[in-house]
Amino acid sequence: MATEQVAVPSGAAAAPQRLSLLRVLGPMHVWALGVGIVLVGEFMGWNFTVAKGGVFGGLVACWFSGILYSCVAMIDSEVSSTVASAGGQYAQAKHILGPLAAFNIALFIIFEYCMLAAGDSLVVGAIVNSLDATLSPTPFVVLAIAFLAWLNYRGVHTTLTFNFIITAIAFITIFVLIVGAEFWNPGAITQTKELFAQPPGSADPKMPYGWLGILAALQFGIWYYLGIEGTCQTAEECRSAPRALPVGTMSGLITLLVAATMTWYICTSLVNWITLGESVYPLYDAAVNTGKNWLKVVLWIGTVLSCLASANGCINDASRAWFAMGRDQFIPRWFGGVHPRYKTPYRAILFLVPIMIAFGYTGLLDQVITFSIISGCLIYFIMPLNMIRFRRLYPMDSIKRGYVSPFHPLPSYVLWLFVGLTFLAMYFGYWRNLVAALVFYGLCSIWFVLHRFKYVDRAKLYTMPWPRPRGY
Amino acid sequence: MEWLNYVVWAIGILILVWLVIDAFRIETTYDHDLLVSSVEGEIEKEILDHGHPTTPPEGGN
């Protein structure tokens, strides 16, 4: 294996060689990728659930999305532990559902993460600008993406080790806020009782718009966990994918469930529900309300680091999906190039950088993030189909799994139900975005079927040594 | 603090230029066929054949 990966310049006499991505990642890196992408959602975005559904609406959305993503993580862990290939859900769908589904899933992944990276960098620019009005956000947007792209280009191990460090620091800042707010002494700094009480003549902060408000809150509950499914993009770079992916993904999900619940508690205990529902940086605003300046600094650092960790993971994931599509010639084969020294998908990384910068340049944070969420939900809608067909084609005795999803097919049906409800909630608020996204992906599918698929070498499309599927 | 904008622009552009130059150097030094020689399924084969993946090779970071 080692000799296969030593590349030599053209012209030099050498035996046939093959480049491949480096297999250096463990569960820690998978955790860093999953939690790193998502944690930014605790620092901003989730609080719109409170604007729609009140403080209880925020909690219901938190746990509702927690169940949704638990299903995602269970399905993902089982299937990806057997498909240790770059591209994650793309590679899974290619083997289980077919090329068109795989092409669409790859597009969903790429747009989900490119848009999210652009959104993260936009927030970094805005935070810097909030420090000093003479600091323009644009150069900081460009620098953030350029630096993280450079890191990704230079090697996956350093990239995800860096992500582990900054994600862990950002996660700890939430703990620091809870301890700094003296959670053990209600009423001293936290004002849960007062903030949850209904003022005379005003709406009830707990559920101001009733169950309809809670339904509307569901679409923003996605922010708590959006992107955790990206862990399986590293499958080809794990030392032992059947072990690292389930351990990293599940521990990441547990981390996020804890972080989400803590975030909801501390923010609703420190910030009035109306202010919280409109806040850009809810955790930072909660720190401001403690009256402790050092906590403001800590949470400012946490917010910036969470944005960088998210953008870093997004570049990693989007480039793997683009690389995998190139390798299968769903897009030009050129994009399937591997750097001979760093063993990274360098062409895919370079290609996506200007796209991310361009989206970041628009400054349209809400539109960018909405498209990212819609793309993510479309992935979740196809995943149950993937799982059910996977179990049917490859029963338990045919392929050894690194993780077996319990209660199958219940998680698949629950995921369908919950994603359906989320789409319904999204339709009420963003039906134009939803229709535009579906039209866009539909046109891309037509292009793929009528034009691109004839260039795909089908003999090279399926090279994994899986057994013949049942019934074939 | 306006000067900081120019410094940040300069660092960002320098990084992007480095990326482009390195990619150009790779394109002109190595065979295209080698660069796109990666295939799916190698890892699974190893796991199936040997029961445990091999130690990762040197290179990159």
With vertex at residue A390, the alpha carbon angle to CA A112 and CA A230, rounded to the nearest 5 degrees, is 25
Give the domain range for residue B34: 23-52
Given the structure tokens 């420190």, which residue do they identify? A270
Chain A: nearest CA to B38, how far in angstroms? 5
**Nearest chain A alpha carbon to B41:** A464
Could you tell me the pLDDT band of residue B44, with boundaries at 50, 70 and 90? low
Collect all residues of chain A within an 8 Å Cβ-Cβ radius of residue B46: 1
Residue to test with chain A: of B37, B47, B50, most A Cβ within 10 A: B37
In a domain, B33, yes or no: yes
| Interchain contact A12–B (C-beta under 8 A) | no
Chain A: nearest CA to B31, how far in angstroms? 5
Among B12, B35, B56, beta carbon nearest to A19:
B35
Collect all residues of chain B within an 8 Å Cβ-Cβ radius of residue A340: 26, 30, 34-35
Beta-carbon separation of A6 and B57 below 8 A: yes
Q: What residues contact B10, with CB distance under 8 A and at least 6 apart? A: none
In a domain, B13, yes or no: no
- Phi, psi values for residue A37, rounded to 5°: -65, -40
In a domain, A145, yes or no: yes
With vertex at residue A228, the alpha carbon angle to CA A222 and CA A232, rounded to the nearest 5 degrees, is 145
User: A62 and A240 in contact (C-beta within 8 Å)?
Assistant: no
Count, residues in chain B: 61
In a domain, B4, yes or no: no
Q: Is A238 helix (H, G, I), strand (E, B) or coil?
A: strand
Q: Cis before residue A409, ω within 30 degrees of 0?
A: yes
Question: How many angstroms separate the CA atoms of A463 and B42, rounded?
Answer: 8
pLDDT value at residue A6: 46
Beta-carbon separation of A346 and B39 below 8 A: no
pLDDT value at residue B52: 45
Among A22, A142, A149, beta carbon nearest to B59:
A22
DSSP string, A328-382: TTSS-GGGG---TTT-S-HHHHHHHHHHHHHHHHH--HHHHHHHHHHHHHHHHHH
pLDDT greater than 60 at residue B57:
no
Beta-carbon separation of B29 and A328 below 8 A: no
Chain A: nearest CA to B27, how far in angstroms? 10
In a domain, B10, yes or no: no
Collect all residues of chain A within an 8 Å Cβ-Cβ radius of residue B4: 135
Residue to test with chain A: of B17, B20, B34, most A Cβ within 10 A: B34
Q: Residue A437 belongs to what H/E stretch? A: helix A410-450
Question: How is chain B split among helix, strand and coil, in percent rounded to 5?
Answer: 65, 0, 35
Please, where are the H alpha helices in A39-136?
A: 40-43, 48-80, 89-96, 99-131
Residue to test with chain B: of A142, A147, A151, A398, most B Cβ within 10 A: A142
pLDDT value at residue B59: 43
| Interchain contact A344–B (C-beta under 8 A) | yes
> In angstroms, what CA-CA distances link A260 with A66, A174, A390?
9, 10, 31
| Interchain contact B5–A (C-beta under 8 A) | yes
Among B5, B34, B53, beta carbon nearest to A7:
B34
Beta-carbon separation of A240 and B22 below 8 A: no
Question: How many angstroms separate the CA atoms of A102 and A466, rounded?
Answer: 18
The burial class, CB within 10 Å (0-12 / 13-18 / 19+), for A445 is middle
Given the structure tokens 């793997």, which residue do they identify? A320
Beta-carbon separation of B29 and A149 below 8 A: no
pLDDT value at residue A82: 87
User: A371 and A437 in contact (C-beta within 8 Å)?
Assistant: yes
Among A86, A155, A236, beta carbon nearest to B61:
A155
Q: How many domains does chain A have?
A: 1
Among A20, A336, A460, beta carbon nearest to B42:
A20
Identify the CA nearest to A156 among candidates A22, A272, A35.
A22
Question: How many angstroms separate the CA atoms of A128 and A306, rounded?
Answer: 14
Please name the residues between 375 and 414 in chain A that touch chain B, using a CB distance below 8 Å: none
- For the CA atoms of A395, A401, A404, A410, what is the dihedral angle to 10 degrees? -40
Question: How many angstroms separate the CA atoms of A318 and A306, rounded?
Answer: 18
pLDDT value at residue B46: 52
> In angstroms, what CA-CA distances link A458 with A82, A226, A313, A443, B53?
21, 33, 31, 23, 28
Beta-carbon separation of B61 and A158 below 8 A: yes
Give the domain range for residue A162: 23-459
Its ipTM equals: 0.85
Residue A264: which CATH number?
1.20.1740.10
Chain A: nearest CA to B56, how far in angstroms? 5
- pLDDT tens digits for chain A (472 residues)? 333 444 555 544 454 588 999 999 999 999 999 999 999 999 988 999 999 999 999 999 999 999 999 999 999 999 988 887 888 999 999 999 999 999 999 999 999 999 898 888 888 888 888 888 999 999 998 999 999 999 999 999 999 999 999 999 999 999 999 999 999 999 899 998 989 998 888 889 999 999 999 999 998 899 899 999 999 999 999 998 889 999 999 999 999 999 999 999 999 999 999 999 988 889 999 999 999 999 999 999 999 999 999 999 999 999 999 999 999 999 999 999 999 999 999 999 999 999 988 887 777 777 888 888 999 999 999 999 999 999 999 998 888 888 999 999 999 999 999 999 999 988 888 899 999 999 999 999 999 999 999 988 887 788 777 788 888 7
> In angstroms, what CA-CA distances link A339 with A13, A16, A22, A234, B1?
20, 17, 10, 16, 39
Identify the CA nearest to A62 among candidates A209, A251, A261.
A261
Chain A: nearest CA to B8, how far in angstroms? 6
CB atoms within 10 A of CB A198: 11
Question: How many angstroms separate the CA atoms of A287 and A264, rounded?
Answer: 13
In a domain, B47, yes or no: yes
Q: How many domains does chain B have?
A: 1
Beta-carbon separation of A85 and B43 below 8 A: yes
Q: Is A25 helix (H, G, I), strand (E, B) or coil?
A: strand
Collect all residues of chain B within an 8 Å Cβ-Cβ radius of residue A347: 23
pTM metric for this prediction: 0.90
In a domain, B43, yes or no: yes
In a domain, A1, yes or no: no
The burial class, CB within 10 Å (0-12 / 13-18 / 19+), for B42 is buried
Among A91, A338, A353, beta carbon nearest to B38:
A338
Collect all residues of chain A within an 8 Å Cβ-Cβ radius of residue B44: 82-85, 464-466
pLDDT value at residue A360: 76
Structure tokens at B9: 């622009």
Among A2, A24, A334, beta carbon nearest to B36:
A334
In a domain, A227, yes or no: yes
pLDDT value at residue A9: 54
With vertex at residue A145, the alpha carbon angle to CA A230 and CA B40, rounded to the nearest 5 degrees, is 40
DSSP string, A191-232: -HHHHHSPPTTS--SSSTTHHHHHHHHHHHHGGGTTTGGGGG
Identify the CA nearest to A379 among candidates A143, A164, A73.
A73
Count, residues in chain A: 472
Please name the residues between 22 and 61 in chain B that touch chain A, using a CB distance below 8 Å: 22-23, 26, 29-32, 34-48, 52-61
Report the largest interatomic distance among the alpha carbons of chain B, rounded to a whole angstrom: 61
